């Protein structure tokens, strides 16, 4: 389906990533947003606050992130597309509700504009150290989808993609931005509404008597119903059967939680997305995401000038991790170089998947700045020498 024109600001704009993410959400049909201010993410909801009244939606500044991260789930069960936006400390507070959304298969979008941590850390400066928290931060077994834009244009595009994936797979989708992408101003082209594809919620066509709220369809994803439509739905974070009734035993746990995990794991190849640059002849591959991938492009140019055959694998979808592609590449290349603004998170995944076939070398950075391209280039050149 194409986008509702009410939310689409068609044209060419010179805006930053935070504003672009707001426009992407509105274009995707988001009509409910709950937030709590935190640098460097606040501009997303500031813009939403000024845009929402014109398109029949609601923005509410909640009393804290705990409230924001569950208010949006109430809104989803009332039928809206909804998001919340935060950064590091707020993201930590939202973790319990990422688990709730995963358990109740509530399609919703969390935007995390990452800053330097831990704790209050570097509120106004970049970091990429929430990547493992995004994957594992809530308790229990579950899967989410996380995307990482590298430009304001992609903040717009991937915000739409986040909503589409959330609706398709009924999972919380995390848009993992970083401070630099959030605050960097570039041209963002917003197409006409008819050219923007949006995935609508798959509401059941069954009658209330025949409908089970958590009965999976062939894609392992159940159809939805919303409050007020006569289905008398029961939604609980407890382990539940296909009717949604709490039943706490290992058999139902196995049925439910295994499906929640498998609906993403078994479909990972449909969900993962990477950009590949100069991979064909590469002996060294830089694996990067977000702002770091843009710095890495410069590093690759420097290394190529010195005769090193190096390519870039940019993670657009970070979770699920592109295991199959990394595995294929691991048997062909000398090494992976993984620059990230943390002291080693996604590099662990590259190492795990490469399984010793090629080393994965971290180029870490504690945050507050992006890498110097020369530092990554030096690591590439060293890796090429073996």
Partner 1 sequence: MKVDNDANAFYCDCVKEEQNPVNAMLRLDRMPSIWCPGCGVGTSVNAFARALKQAKVNLEKTAIVSGIGCSGRVSGYLNFDSFHTTHGRAIPFATGLKLANPELNVVVYSGEGDLIAIGGNHFIHAARRNMDLLVICVNNFTYGMTGGQVSPTSPASAKFTTAPFGQFEEPFNLPNLAESAGAVYVARWTTFHVNQLAKSMREALNKRGFRFIEVISPCPTLYQRRNKLGDGLDAMKYYVEKSVINNNADTREIKIDFQDEITVGTFVNKERPTFLESMNARFSQTIGASYQPYPEG
Chain positions contacting partner 1, by CB under 8 A: 31-32, 34, 53-54, 56, 58, 60, 62-64, 66-68, 70-80, 82, 96-97, 100, 226-228, 230-238, 245-246
Q: Which is nearer to partner 1, 226 or 259 (CB)?
A: 226
Angle at 327 between CA 321 and CA 328, to 5 degrees: 120
Compare residues 138 and 351 and give the one whose CB is closer to partner 1. Answer: 138
Q: Looking at beta carbons only, is 67 or 166 nearer to partner 1?
A: 67
Closest distance between partner 1 and the C-beta of residue 240, in Å? 9
What's the farthest any 2 CA atoms get from each other in the chain?
Answer: 69
Distance in Å, CB of 234 to partner 1, minimum: 5
Measured between alpha carbons, how far is 380 from 386 in angstroms, rounded to an integer?
A: 10
- Side-chain half-sphere exposure of 135, counting CA atoms within 13 A: 13
Judged by CB, which is closer to partner 1: 68, or 198? 68
Q: Are 115 and 231 in contact (CB under 8 A)?
A: no
Cβ 94 to partner 1, closest distance in Å? 11
Smallest gap from Cβ 131 to partner 1, in A, equals 24
- Cβ atoms 287, 338 nearer than 8 A: yes
Q: How far is CA 153 from the centre of its chain?
A: 15
Give the whole-angstrom CA distance, residue 81 versus residue 124: 29
Minimum distance of partner 1 from residue 165's CB (angstroms): 21
- Which residue lies nearer to partner 1 by CB, 78 or 266? 78
Q: What is the dihedral of CA 365, 15, 321, 329, to 10 degrees?
A: -80
**Residue closer to partner 1, measured from CB, 123 or 237:** 237
With tokens 């995990």, the residue in question is 261
CB of 349 to partner 1, least distance (A): 29
* First vs last C-alpha separation in the chain: 50
């Amino acid at each position: 389906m194409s986008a509702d024109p009410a939310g689409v600001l068609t044209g060419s704009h010179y805006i930053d990533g935070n504003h672009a993410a707001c426009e992407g959400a509105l274009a995707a049909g988001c009509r409910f947003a709950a937030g709590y201010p935190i640098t460097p993410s606040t501009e997303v909801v500031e813009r939403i606050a000024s845009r929402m009244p014109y398109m029949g939606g609601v923005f509410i500044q909640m009393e804290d992130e705990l409230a924001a991260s569950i208010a949006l789930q109430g809104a989803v069960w009332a039928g809206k597309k909804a998001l919340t936006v935060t950064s590091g400390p707020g993201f930590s507070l939202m973790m319990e509700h990422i688990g709730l959304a995963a358990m109740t298969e509530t399609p919703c979008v969390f935007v995390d504009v990452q800053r330097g941590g831990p704790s209050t850390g570097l509120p106004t400066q970049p970091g990429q150290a929430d990547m493992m928290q995004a994957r594992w931060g809530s308790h229990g077994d579950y899967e989410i989808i996380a995307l990482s834009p590298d430009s304001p244009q992609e903040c717009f595009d991937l915000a739409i993609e986040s909503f589409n994936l959330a609706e398709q797979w009924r999972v919380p989708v995390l848009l993992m931005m970083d401070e630099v992408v959030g605050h960097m101003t570039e041209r963002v082209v917003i197409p006409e509404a008819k050219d923007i594809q949006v995935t609508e919620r798959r509401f059941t066509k069954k009658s209330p008597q025949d409908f089970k709220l958590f009965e999976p369809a062939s894609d392992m994803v159940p159809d939805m119903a919303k409050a007020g439509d006569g289905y008398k739905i029961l939604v609980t974070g407890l382990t539940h059967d296909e009717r949604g009734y709490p039943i706490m035993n290992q058999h139902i746990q196995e049925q439910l939680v295994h499906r929640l995990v498998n609906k993403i794991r078994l479909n990972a190849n449909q969900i993962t997305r990477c950009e590949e640059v100069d991979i064909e002849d590469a002996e060294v591959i830089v694996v990067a995401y977000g702002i770091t991938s843009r710095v890495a492009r410069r590093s690759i140019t420097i290394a190529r000038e010195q005769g090193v055959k190096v390519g870039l694998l940019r993670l657009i979808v970070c979770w699920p991790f592109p295991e199959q592609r990394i595995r294929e590449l691991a048997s062909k290349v000398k090494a992976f170089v993984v620059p990230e603004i943390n002291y080693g998170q996604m590099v662990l995944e590259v190492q795990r998947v490469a399984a010793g076939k090629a080393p994965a070398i971290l180029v870490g950075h504690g945050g507050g700045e992006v890498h110097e391209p020369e530092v990554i280039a030096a690591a590439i050149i060293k890796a090429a020498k073996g």
